[in-house]
Chains A and B, each alone.
Chain A
Amino acid sequence: MSEYIGGEYDVIVVGAGHAGCEAALASARLGCSTAIFTLNLDSIANMPCNPNIGGTAKGQLVREIDALGGQMGITADATFIQSKILNRSKGPAVYSLRAQIDRRAYQEHMKLTLEQQENLDLKQAEVIEILTENKKVKGIRVHTGTIYLAKVVILTTGTYLKSRIIIGDVSINSGPDGLFPANKLSESLKALGIELMRFKTGTPARVNRRSIDFSKLIEQPGDEEIVPFSFMTDKPNENQVMCYLTYTNPETHRIINENLHRSPLYSGDIEGVGARYCPSIEDKVVRFKDKDRHQVFVEPMGLNTMEMYLQGVSTSMPEDVQQEIIQSIPGLENAKVMRPAYAIEYDCINPTQLKLSLEFKEIDGLFSAGQINGSSGYEEAAAQGIMAGINAVRKIRNLDPFVLDRSQAYIGVLIDDLVIKGTNEPYRMMTSRAEYRLWLRQDNADMRLTELGREIGLVTDERYNRFLEKKKNIEEELERLKKTIISPDREINDFLERHNSAKIVTGISLYDLLRRPEIEYDHLSEIGQAKDLSREVKQQVTITIKYEGYLKRQMKQIEQFKRMEERRLPDDLDYNEIQGLRIEARQKLSKIRPESLGQASRISGVSPADISVLLIYLETLKRKKQ
Chain B
Amino acid sequence: MTNTTIAGISTAVGNAGITVIRLSGPDSFTIADKIFKGKKKVQDQESHTVQYGKIISPFTNEVIDEVLLVKMAAPRTYTREDVVEISSHGGYSIARTLLNLLYKTGATPAEPGEFTKRAFLNGRIDLSQAEAVMDIIQARTDRVSKVAVKQLEGSVSNKINELRERIVNILSHIEVNLDYPEYDEEEITSNQVQKISEEIIEDLDKLIKSFHFGKLLREGMEVVIAGKPNVGKSSLMNYLAQKSRSIVTDIPGTTRDIIEEYINIDGVPVKLVDTAGVRETQDIVERLGVERSVKALEEADFVIVMANAGDGITDEDKDIISKVEEENKSYILVFNKIDLVDNREDLKKLEEEYPRALMISVSDDIGIDKLKEAILKYATENNQDMDNQILITNARHEYQLRKAKEYLKASLSSVDQGLTLDIIAMDLKAALEELGKITGHHADEDVINAIFSRFCIGK
Contact = CB atoms under 8 A, between A and B. Distances in A.
Contacts of A559: 3
B421 to A, nearest CB: 6
B130 A616 contact: yes
B121 A278 contact: no
Contacts of B138: 580, 609, 613
A295 B456 CA distance: 10
A90 B181 contact: yes
Interface string B177-210: 1111111100000000000000000000000000
A30 to B, nearest CB: 34
A579 B134 contact: yes
Is the interface on chain A under 10, 10 to 19, 20 to 34, or 35 or more residues? 35 or more
B141 interface: yes
A92 B140 CA distance: 43
Interface string A589-619: 0000000000000001001010011011101
A612 B179 contact: no
A517 B452 CA distance: 33
Contact of B121 (A96, A435, A615): A615
B421 A563 contact: no
B57 to A, nearest CB: 26
Interface string A289-331: 0010011010000000000000110100000000000000000
A609 B137 contact: yes
Interface in A82-110: 86-87, 89-94, 96
Contacts of B140: 609
Interface stretch (A70-78, A168-176, A256-264, A425-433): A425-433
A295 B458 CA distance: 10
A587 B170 CA distance: 36
Nearest to A516: B417
B448 A432 contact: yes
A547 B423 contact: yes
Interface in B400-458: 417-423, 426, 440, 442, 444-445, 447-448, 451-452, 456-458
Nearest to B184: A295
Nearest to B455: A288
A440 B167 CA distance: 24
Given A278-B458, A619-B121, A431 B133 contact: no
Interface in B132-162: 133-135, 137-138, 140-141, 144
Nearest to A88: B181
B117 A57 contact: no
Interface in B101-123: 117, 120-121, 123
Contacts of A609: 137-138, 140-141, 144
Contacts of A431: 175, 178-179, 422
A49 interface: yes
Contact of B133 (A92, A287, A616): A616
Contact of B1 (A50, A89, A567, A579): A567
B459 interface: yes
A620 B130 contact: yes
B456 A291 contact: yes
Given A560-B3, A613-B134, A616-B133, A90 B422 contact: yes
Contacts of A312: 459
Contacts of B445: 604
Contacts of B420: 89-92
A559 B3 CA distance: 10
A340 interface: no
Given A615-B1, A616-B130, A430 B448 contact: yes
A284 interface: yes
Contacts of B117: 612, 615-616
A437 B444 CA distance: 12
A353 interface: no
Given A311-B459, A613-B138, A277 B130 contact: no
Contacts of A279: 456, 458
Main secondary structure, interface of B, reads helix
B236 to A, nearest CB: 47
A291 B457 CA distance: 12
B127 interface: yes
A59 to B, nearest CB: 11
A300 to B, nearest CB: 16
Interface in B14-44: none
Contact of A284 (B133, B179, B417, B456): B456
Of listed A430, A567, A604, A613, residue having the most chain B CB within 10 A:
A430
Contacts of A86: 181-182
B131 interface: yes
A616 B144 contact: no
Given A295-B184, A312-B459, A612-B117, A433 B3 contact: no
A190 interface: no
Contacts of A287: 456
Contacts of B141: 582, 607, 609
A204 interface: yes
A4 interface: no
Contacts of A93: 422-423
A432 B423 contact: no
A304 B444 CA distance: 43
B137 A580 contact: yes
A566 to B, nearest CB: 10
B3 A90 contact: no
A517 B419 contact: yes
A563 B1 contact: yes
A346 B451 CA distance: 26
Nearest to A202: B459
A564 interface: yes
Of listed A560, A604, A609, residue having the most chain B CB within 10 A:
A609
Contact of A435 (B135, B183, B444, B458): B444
Interface in A527-559: 547, 550, 553-554, 559
Interface in A385-437: 430-433, 435, 437
Contacts of B134: 579-580, 613, 616-617
Given A311-B459, A547-B423, A619-B121, A432 B451 contact: yes
Contacts of A616: 117, 120-121, 130, 133-134, 137
A57 B423 contact: no
A535 B198 CA distance: 39
Contact of A517 (B178, B184, B418): B418
A277 B454 CA distance: 11
26 contacts: A86-B182, A87-B181, A90-B422, A91-B421, A94-B179, A203-B459, A278-B459, A284-B456, A294-B456, A431-B179, A431-B422, A433-B444, A438-B422, A560-B3, A563-B3, A580-B134, A580-B137, A604-B445, A607-B141, A616-B120, A616-B133, A617-B134, A619-B120, A619-B121, A619-B130, A620-B127
Given A94-B422, A284-B458, 20 more contacts: A56-B180, A86-B182, A91-B422, A92-B420, A93-B422, A96-B181, A277-B457, A277-B458, A291-B456, A294-B456, A435-B444, A517-B418, A580-B134, A607-B440, A613-B137, A615-B1, A616-B117, A619-B120, A619-B123, A623-B123
Interface of A: 49-50, 56-57, 86-87, 89-94, 96, 203-204, 275-279, 284, 287-288, 291, 294-295, 297, 311-312, 314, 430-433, 435, 437-438, 517, 547, 550, 553-554, 559-560, 563-564, 567, 579-580, 582, 604, 607, 609, 612-613, 615-617, 619-620, 623-624
The 7 closest A-B pairs by CB, nearest first: A91-B420, A91-B422, A276-B452, A609-B141, A93-B422, A288-B456, A432-B175
